[in-house]
Amino acid sequence: MNLSATEKDLMIVNMGPHHPSMHGVLHLIVTLDGEDVVDCEPILGYLHRGMEKIAENLTIIHYLPYVTRRDYLTTMFTKAITINGLEQLGNIQVPKRASYIRVIMLELSRIASHLLWLGPFRADIGAQTPFFYIFRERELVNDLFKSTTGMRMMHNYFHIGGVAADLPYVWIDKCLDFFEGIGVIGGEEAINWGLFGPMLRASGIKWDLRKVDHYECYDEFDWKIQWQKEGDSLACYLVRISEMTESMKIIQQFLEGISGVKKPSPTFELPRQELYARMEAPKGELIIFLIGDQSGFLWRWKIRPPGFINLQILPQLVKRMKLADIMTILGVLVIVWLEREISAGIQQCIGPEYAGPLGILQALADGTKLLFKESRGNTCLFSIGPAITVISILLSFSIIPFSSHLILSDLNIGIFLWIPISSIASVGLLMLGYGSNNKYSFLGGLRAAAQSISYEIPLTLCVLSISLRAIR
């Protein structure tokens, strides 16, 4: 940032990188005037697995187990939005009982997600003891999930046309037992920033997709949108707390009225049309965009998670705040860093080989598909990048002496040879970023290469020099 003559006394503080406590690095460059925050620049790390392109290169049935890995705190929702979109695209009807079970699982997942936010958030701002009580309650929800799905996380439970299995014996009684006895943002500003979920409702906007889009069976029972008008961090806290109470109310009503039978998941072809589907997830609107291709594959699969949409207002919220206030404001944003996987484009944009007789038109189809992606990538560079990245490891065996009698290079120049060899890994990282099909992947490649140059290579050189010295 450019500072005027009167601002030369400002101090720039690096908060982070926060690693390995977060998946990928979050680095805040904070400009301070004393303890007052003047500016804040969030720097994101690099982490993705190309979820969208995996979806476009697998059949629907094969891809379904992948979606639960996108957000490990709300796996029921990532599966639900996927299943809902496919059911709408294929015009598949879901039995009433299966829809009831889905709503119960979604609301339990909402409670578990909010609890996992509440415990660490209160610990971050100095309230350590509630962390353990909150996790005790979350364990009860995980026990309910485990007894139904067989897993505490990554629940592959929602299937096309219904759910994987009915509720086990006495599960409803256990679920009922679980419920017994026990930064300022204005509304207009929140809308202008495109905020979703509890952050929007804490600013006085009564907007909940369960009421607006009328999906599943939410309209059949009595529940209200939870909101506050203050718009500060406490309001966000109160909205999430009240949403958990409202989720309990919804679940209890559905448990009392559950009926119907199960329906097996069908195998089907998706029609050649577009679909925009959204769902009210714990952190806001979870959105997908699908384009069918009259086959078991999708032409396009685009995901828009809520977390990083809300992150954009962070620099605005922390200005003129105290340094200690950053953790409070950052905490109410509730970001899962693995959402970054799905916003990083992938690399190879090829689809199944079925275009034209014997696939002879597949090259033309691939080129046409690439034109409709976010940006152009270089498949060859992206394919070669990993090999270039690890080749320095293979070449290192020509430098590192195995013993005093097995030396493949002169020890006097070995240390100097290691410098160009180790730099090959950084070249590979740059090739991966440049060859990807997304600007965020490219920025990630630059940061990964810079990270390698800044401390990984010097550390390796230190270790090598000590080894060479010891052998001499």
3-state secondary structure of 457: helix
Q: What are phi and psi of 215, to 5 degrees?
A: -90, 165
Query: Please, what is the Cα angle at 342 between 339 and 348, to 5 degrees?
Result: 155
The DSSP element (H or E) to which 244 belongs, if any, is: helix 233-257
The contacts of residue 464 (CB under 8 Å, 6+ apart) are: 399, 400, 414, 415, 418
Question: Is residue 48 classed exposed, middle or buried when 0-12, 13-18 and 19+ CB atoms within 10 A define those classes?
Answer: buried
The DSSP element (H or E) to which 287 belongs, if any, is: strand 284-292
Q: How many CB atoms lie within 10 A of CB 9?
A: 8
pLDDT in tens, the chain (472 residues): 555 545 568 898 888 765 444 455 677 888 998 888 999 888 776 555 577 778 888 888 888 888 887 777 788 888 888 888 888 888 888 999 999 999 999 999 999 888 888 888 888 788 888 888 888 888 888 899 988 888 888 888 888 888 988 888 888 888 888 776 448 888 888 888 888 888 888 888 888 888 888 888 888 888 888 888 888 888 888 898 889 988 888 888 888 777 654 555 556 677 888 888 888 787 778 888 888 877 777 778 888 877 777 777 788 888 888 887 887 777 777 666 555 444 443 333 334 445 566 666 666 665 555 544 444 456 677 777 777 777 776 776 665 555 455 555 555 555 566 666 666 777 777 777 767 666 666 677 777 777 777 766 666 666 666 666 655 5
CB 94 within 8 A of CB 162: yes
Report the alpha-carbon distance of residue 237 to residue 199 in Å, rounded. Answer: 9
Q: Give the C-alpha distances (Å, rounded to integers) separating 457 from 17, 414, 418, 419, 445.
A: 19, 15, 9, 8, 16
Residue closest to 336 by CA, chosen among 74, 33, 59, 138: 74
Ordered structural domains, the chain, with CATH = 11-46+311-345 (no CATH), 58-303 (1.10.645.10), 359-471 (no CATH)
> Would the CA dihedral through 115, 120, 126, 131 be positive or negative?
positive
Calculated CA dihedral for residues 218, 221, 224, 226, nearest 10 degrees: -50
Which residues make beta-bridge pairs with 375? Answer: none
